Amino acid sequence: MAKQMYDTPMLDQLESGPWPSFVTGLKRLATTEGKHDQDMMVDLLGQLEHSYKTRKGYWKGGTVGVMGYGGGIIPRFSEVAAMFPESKEFHTLRIQPPAGMHYDTKIMREFCDIWEEHGSGLVAFHGQSGDIMFQGATTDNVQPAFDAFNKIGFDLGGAGPAVRTGMSCVGAARCEQSCANEQKVLRSLVNNFLDDMHRPALPYKFKFKVSGCPNDCMNAIERADMAVIGTWRDDMKVDQDAVKSFVADKGRKYVVDNVVSRCPTQALSLNDDDSLDVDNRSCVRCMHCINVMTEALSVGDDKGVTILMGGKRTLKIGDLMGTVVVPFMKLDTDEDYERIVEIAEEAIDFFAENALEHERTGEMIERIGLVNFLEGIGLEVDPNMVSEPRQSSYIRMDDWDEEAQKWNDRKAEAAAG
């Protein structure tokens, strides 16, 4: 016979309404007779109601892990265990999802069976870093739960000052706007740094995110230390017959107002015969017109990626966007993939050696300047890295001639092919 449920008048109010209710789910886990950790869920609901009443949280961290790893478990011990003893330990296992978050029902049911045997039965798909979060295990159950997930091909994600779980969009699996093999990029990068993920020893976290096009559905530029964004460098594709039928369907005003005039670089022009001109040299690959005219316009054939580094959220110096460090690189051959992994290795090595404790890559770049970072990781300067050149004249330029010569040499080398 399970523990009696607490009165939860505040949480009860979250059971009504059209959106699926997590409270109803929590209650099911607390009232399914004979279920593993049933009493834990009874007390968890008690503690959560207590938080709602007092408007405070009551979890503290601690040290819980699995053999061989230094991170990946989020330990949670209750500060109000005297009132709610059964949920005094309520740890989370961060498990890395398949790239693109694809599942079949067989693996989902296996997850459920494992979590029914070893944990609370509560799962979040997914956390903000992209992990599947199996929430609610006692300290003793963390290892057997991990062992069971590990046996079916799943591994812990990152936590603490480590390479973190990454994310890639659905991309080439379903989206015609994909300019990259997103899952391969993500797996090549993250799976090369598993030691840095499982044994946290970096100054702070380091995140990879991969979006297949500049729509950046994975929020990579704003949230990743290394963002890989698919793009293309030849002309975008225009199916003029489809353009004409789009114009016929929607009207010229719609096309002018919503496509032509919304182009950020005025690279589009609607012709008198309702075909579309594209100034591909001015196009910045923003994706807007392609998003609107999904049947008529599409990305080009000469695909590759842009790499930006240094994105992060508020702590400590304020939000930072990632900025361009590689304007374009091809990702076709094994050598191309070796090169992008090498760029990541250089960046993480430099970060490990030069960042202050608890400093993100973007903050380090802010502190030392982009040029020092580029020199440290062996990348050449490029005008695509700036919105505009320097404004301030307070700068020493003693070796201007040598730097100008470098640029000319690189241009000559590129021209020679």
Return the residues of window 127-146 that contact other proteins according to CB under 8 A. 127-128, 130, 135, 146
* Per CB under 8 A, 323 contacts other proteins: no
Among 39, 222, 274, 382, interactor with other proteins by CB under 8 A: 222
Residues 74-93 that bind other proteins (CB under 8 A): 74, 76, 90, 92
Window contacting other proteins (CB under 8 A); options: 21-29, 341-349, 377-385, 404-412: 21-29
Calculate the CA dihedral of residues 304, 308, 313, 318 and round it to 10 degrees: -150
> What is the contact mask toward other proteins in residues 257 to 296, using x (rule: CB under 8 A)?
xx---x-x-------------------xxxxx--xx-xx-
- Of the candidates 174, 176, 306, 162, the residue with the CA atom closest to the CA atom of residue 233: 306
Window contacting other proteins (CB under 8 A); options: 11-19, 275-283, 330-338, 374-382: 11-19
Tokens of 266: 């005025």
* Per CB under 8 A, 241 contacts other proteins: no
Residues 372-401 that bind other proteins (CB under 8 A): none
Q: How far apart are CA 138 and CA 39, in angstroms?
A: 12
Kind of pairing, strands 122-125 and 132-137?
antiparallel
Residues 185-204 that bind other proteins (CB under 8 A): 186-187, 190-191, 194-195, 197-198
Window contacting other proteins (CB under 8 A); options: 164-172, 329-337, 391-399, 403-411: 164-172
* Per CB under 8 A, 240 contacts other proteins: no
Q: How far apart are CA 284 and CA 354, in angstroms?
A: 33
- Of the candidates 295, 327, 306, the residue with the CA atom closest to the CA atom of residue 213: 306
> What is the contact mask toward other proteins in residues 340 to 369, using x (rule: CB under 8 A)?
----------------xxx-----------
Give the nearest distance from C-beta 136 to other proteins in angstroms. 8
Among 3, 70, 81, 98, interactor with other proteins by CB under 8 A: 98
Window contacting other proteins (CB under 8 A); options: 166-174, 340-348, 368-376, 393-401: 166-174
Helix (H) or strand (E) holding 406: helix 400-416
Window contacting other proteins (CB under 8 A); options: 174-182, 268-276, 328-336, 398-406: 174-182
Among 86, 89, 216, 225, interactor with other proteins by CB under 8 A: 216
Among 55, 253, 390, 396, interactor with other proteins by CB under 8 A: 55
> Is residue 44 packed enough to be buried (19+ CB in 10 Å), middle (13-18) or exposed (0-12)?
buried
Q: How far apart are CA 13 and CA 370, in angstroms?
A: 51
Tokens of 116: 């029914």
By the 8 A CB rule, do 132 and 155 touch? no
> Is residue 274 packed enough to be buried (19+ CB in 10 Å), middle (13-18) or exposed (0-12)?
middle
Calculate the CA dihedral of residues 247, 249, 251, 254 and round it to 10 degrees: -80
Q: How far apart are CA 323 and CA 226, in angstroms?
A: 9
